[in-house]
Amino acid sequence: MSQSASHLIVKPLHGEAAIVANTVHVVEQDQAIPESGQVLVHLSVWEARKAELTARAQAGELGVWLNPDDNPEQLASDLNVLPLIAFHFPVFKYGQGYSGAVILRRLGFKGDIRGYGDLWRDQLFFLARCGFTQFSLKEGKSLEDALNAFKDFTTPYQTSADGALPIFTRRAA
């Protein structure tokens, strides 16, 4: 199955990956926010309209997305309100989302972290280790192939946000 905008991969921090329907619409910075349905708004929109949008976020209908040059620490005071935070990967070379997810997890964010844009199969396992739980792939990418990415490695060698103990820690025990 090829990717379509209506599907995404979900990989909970502790669980099996699956393909699910994508019901969240990404609202670009210059677009109007739909009055209903699940949406992601840019960080700048959230900050400018937080008072107006908080109730929707608390109802699970609204999350925030960030570009590579956005600072996820700006959301520190909102982590208990937002159910979903997403990082946009406009092209493969941008890796700020990896550290952004780790920062959010260290700040105590328990909600979903989504990666979307130019994501490649080779990135998915490592993104999940950093704390990502959802992945929206570009049109034409194989969802089945992406699911297999989470089986590429069975033994992690470093600590990460997913809580899996690295091999050196397990050997010492």
Q: Are 153 and 143 in contact (CB under 8 A)?
A: no
What's the token pair of residue 150? 């989470």
- Mean pLDDT check: name the lowest of 4-13, 19-28, 36-45: 4-13
Tell me which of 3.40.50, 1.20.1660, 3.20.20, 3.30.420 is the CATH number of domain 7-172.
3.20.20
Long-range contacts of 99-102 (CB under 8 A, 24+ apart): 99/130, 100/66, 100/72, 101/72, 101/127, 101/130, 101/131, 101/132, 101/161, 102/130, 102/131, 102/160, 102/161
Give the start-to-end residue ranges of the domains of the chain: 7-172
Q: Give the pLDDT of residue 162.
A: 60
Model confidence over 93-123: pLDDT tens digits?
Answer: 777 888 999 999 999 999 999 999 988 888 8
Confidence of residue 144 (pLDDT cuts 50, 70, 90): confident
Distance CA 25, CA 32 (A): 12
